[in-house]
Structure 1
Amino acid sequence: MNKPELLVTPVTIDDILPLAKAGADAFVVGEQRYGLRLAGEFDRETVKKAIDLGHSNGKKVYVAMNAIFHNDKIEELKDYIQFVSETNADAIFFGDPAVLMTAREVAPDMKLHWSTETTGTNWYSCNYWGRKGSTRAVLAREINMDSILEIKENAEVEVEVLVHGMTCMFQSKRSLLGNYFEFQGESMEIENRKVQENMFLHDKERNNKYPIFEDENGTHIMSPNDVCIIDELQDLLEAGVDTFKIDGLLKSPEYLLAVTKAYRKAIDLFFEDPDLYEGQKEEFLSQIEAIQPPNRPLDTGFFFKETVY
Structure 2
Amino acid sequence: MTMIEYSSTVPAKEVAGSLFDLGIDTLIIGNNDFGLRLPTDYNVLETQRLTETAHQLGKKVVVAANAILHNDKLLAYEKYLADLLTIGVDYVMVGDAGAVNLIQEKFPSQKFIYNGEVLDTNSGMINFWGNEGASYVRIARELPYVELEELIPKLQVPPIMQLFGPIAIEHSARSLIYNYLDYENKSSEFNFNQVYHVNLPQKPEDIYTMFEDQNGTHMYGPEDLNLLEQLPELVVLGICHYTFDSKFYPSENWLSIMEIFIRARKLLESGESNFEELNTELKEKLPADRKISTGFYHYQLGDIK
TM-score for the superposition, normalised by structure 2: 0.93
Matched, 1:228 2:226: yes
Deviations 1:155-186 (A, max 9, x none): 11110111101101221111111223344263
Matched, 1:86 2:114: no
Deviations 1:47-86 (A, max 9, x none): 2222122222211100111111111112222211100111
Residue equivalent to 1:277: 273
Structure 1 gaps, min length 5: none
Residue equivalent to 1:302: 296
Matched, 1:256 2:251: no
1:106 shift after superposition: 2.5
- Identical columns (%): 26
Residue equivalent to 2:284: 290
Contact 1:12-1:42 at 8 Å conserved across structures: no
Matched, 1:35 2:32: no
Residue equivalent to 1:26: 26
Matched, 1:98 2:94: no
Residue equivalent to 1:268: 266
Deviations 1:80-133 (A, max 9, x none): 110011111001101111111111233211111110111110111111111111
Contact 1:77-1:102 at 8 Å conserved across structures: no
Contact 1:210-1:223 at 8 Å conserved across structures: yes
Matched, 1:139 2:136: no
Contact 1:13-1:50 at 8 Å conserved across structures: no
- Aligned-partner SS, 2:37: coil
Contact 2:165-2:226 at 8 Å conserved across structures: yes
Structure 2 gaps, min length 5: none
1:152 shift after superposition: 2.0
Contact 2:165-2:224 at 8 Å conserved across structures: yes
Residue equivalent to 1:202: 199
1:43 shift after superposition: 1.7
Q: Which runs of 4+ in 1 moved over 4 A?
A: none
Residue equivalent to 1:191: 192
Work out the CA distance in 2 between the residues paired with 1:150 and 1:94.
Answer: 26
- Aligned-partner SS, 2:163: strand
Work out the CA distance in 2 between the residues paired with 1:304 and 1:87.
Answer: 42
RMSD over aligned Cα, in angstroms?
1.8
- What amino acid maps onto 1:187 in structure 2? S
Contact 1:4-1:240 at 8 Å conserved across structures: no
- What amino acid maps onto 1:252 in structure 2? P
**Farther-moved stretch of structure 1 (299-308 vs 262-271):** 299-308
1:188 shift after superposition: 4.7
Matched, 1:3 2:7: no
Work out the CA distance in 1 between the residues paired with 2:273 and 2:186.
Answer: 57
Matched, 1:176 2:176: yes
Contact 2:172-2:216 at 8 Å conserved across structures: yes
TM-score for the superposition, normalised by structure 1: 0.92
Residue equivalent to 1:48: 48
Work out the CA distance in 1 between the residues paired with 2:128 and 2:289.
Answer: 40
Deviations 1:199-226 (A, max 9, x none): 1012343212111111111111111111
